[in-house]
Structure 1
């Protein structure tokens, strides 16, 4: 009788959803998309195939986002506040969306020439994506992992500063008096700088959300 009661009690108790696993799964897609995005900027591989990879990662990321949001509605047990879960999964999703949009624009506009600064910026984007991916499992034990999580945020901030400096350097060269590109060509190059920088912005936003979670659990 007692065993039956315990079994019934366990079935009625709300189950803990694997939120951290979802964050890891999503961050995997972000990192995969970032590597494909960098390959486009570096002129490696077939552009159409790389864009297809990013689109696939975006579709899978949408699925994970939807599953995560649904999970917040059916459980009372969450690793941290629901608004933080929403902000983190949305931030990851926005990152993949931004890469998809940026790669689509690059493909549609027929951009094939990327400056050394753009290539280095893309390298920093991958660095940020990998740091974010590394951070996700640590959320399982936020208090214990608070120091490495905060250190990872600092790494992302430093990488974002490198991206900003590279963009500024590239734009200074672009608009220098000796540059012979037409005004239209210059605007296209400037837009490309902005697209790569925006991806880094999204990753910094994700890292900032993680620090907000840490600050409430330390």
Structure 2
């Protein structure tokens, strides 16, 4: 199958993937700013809105991709691969929004070093997802395919790093946090942030499958 051409009028799936990946990075960078400025209520609200806006834009792209799949006679890659990729990407945007909402709904008192570290890893994972997605329409070139697979491997490593941070964070939390309610709230936030990296790994797995089947 050709990676570079679609039927006229139907737009470009790879361009839509790229736009969606941009929205993912926008949302997670806004989340990072929310965490960094958590003590400033106005900035927290500002960046929370930025997360919501990026997620809403990502939803619209997901809808357009799924619509285009049904209206396009010849797709550049398998239809199931398109569905799996865009829906897993949308899950990442949803999880970023969920993390921001959880912090607000649970009225977290303060940001911990573990929240900052997990957020940083989520940002790096999402940025790598964008890098890999941008290479998809060129993976017929072996060197590009290898670069994309390398980026996917980096996502896997970042997810492993997040797993280790989560385990250490949980251990510290149960040993040192005397307030049970605060413990429960922080545990939920830690797990939510780590799940972002899990879903990025799922996206990477889909990208790897596309590359191996179509490169």
State the TM-score, normalized to the length of structure 1. 0.88
Q: How does 1:74-85 map to 2 (within 5 A)?
A: 74-85=71-82
Q: How is 1:4-153 mapped onto 2 (pairs within 5 angstroms)?
A: 14-15=7-8, 17-43=11-37, 46-144=43-141, 145-153=144-152
- State the SS of the aligned residue for 1:76: coil
Q: In the TM superposition, what is the alpha-carbon distance from 1:23 to its structure 2 partner?
A: 0.3
What is the CA–CA distance in structure 1 between the aligned matches of 2:193 and 2:130, rounded to whole Å?
19
Question: Which of the pair has more CA radius of gyration?
Answer: 1
Which secondary structure state, in structure 1, belongs to the residue aligned with residue 135 of structure 2? helix
Question: Is the contact made by 2:28 and 2:122 (CA closer than 8 Å) also made in structure 1?
Answer: yes
Contact kept in structure 2, 1:27 and 1:133, CA below 8 Å: yes
Which sits farther off after the overlay, 139-148 or 53-62? 139-148
Aligned residues: 204
Equivalent residues of 2:95, 2:195 under 8 A apart: yes
CA RMSD of aligned residues (A): 1.6
Q: What is the aligned partner in structure 1 of residue 197 from structure 2?
A: 200
Where does residue 5 of structure 1 map in the other structure?
A: none
SS in 2 for 1:113: coil
Greater CA drift, 54-63 or 13-22 = 13-22
Q: Under a length normalisation based on structure 2, what TM-score does the superposition of the two structures give?
A: 0.89
Deviation at 1:69, TM superposition (A): 1.0
Report what 1:7 is aligned to.
Answer: none
Residue of structure 1 equivalent to 2:3: none
Give me the whole-angstrom Cα distance separating, in 2, the residues matched to 1:124 and 1:105: 18
Conserved in 2, the CA contact under 8 Å of 1:69 and 1:86?
Answer: yes
4+ runs of 1 displaced by more than 3 Å? none
